[in-house]
Amino acid sequence: MGKYNSDKIAVLFNIMKQLSEGRDPTSGLEFPNDSVLNSVILKRAFTDTSDILADLICDIAKGPYKTPFSLTTEEMDTIPISDEPQPISKFVFIINSTVSHPDMRKLYAKQLTEKLTQLHYLQKVIPEDGREYKISTELGKSLGICSVHKVNSAGNYYVTNLYDANAQKFIIHELIPQLQEGL
């Protein structure tokens, strides 16, 4: 952004906005109808400029732009594979902890489970209580995804999918590159 901070951009926005409305930004008084600053071309330019500055202010408020998550071949080889089956959230945490770039978005478990569902390794199940979850298909089981049915302390039924070493390698070397192609 250089020498322009959000405060300076906001001041410029206000000036352009007033000019686009045919007013003097220093006094707030309307320009005479025959003023060059009231010409259609200039008013249109002031409006467009104020719109651009408004978008810029919104972008600054959202924070810096981050590139989509991606892995290089070298980074793929640095991610530890566990011999113990892992829930996807824990495995994604390991990936994000191993490969961390300040200008890159994090990987989310939902991205992976959605892609695994599209590829028929997981399938959505909607029980009577309406709380959707995913379980491993036969294809997923052959990959190394195991659906474990559990009951929590409140007596509620839920499913956890565990990913063995083979499934973890598949996610790193096959699934994440597929996600990267779609970005």
Q: Are 87 and 161 in contact (CB under 8 A)?
A: yes
Q: Residue 125: what pLDDT?
A: 92
Q: Residue 65: what pLDDT?
A: 62
Q: Residue 147: what pLDDT?
A: 96
Q: Residue 121: what pLDDT?
A: 98
Q: How confident is the model at residue 64 (pLDDT cuts 50, 70, 90)?
A: low
Q: Residue 182: what pLDDT?
A: 63
Which tens digits make up the pLDDT trace of 96-130? 999 988 778 889 999 999 999 999 999 999 887 77
Q: Are 105 and 85 in contact (CB under 8 A)?
A: no
pLDDT at 61 over 80: no
Mean pLDDT of 132-144: 95
Domain boundaries, the chain: 6-62, 73-181
Q: How far apart are CA 128 and CA 149, in angstroms?
A: 16
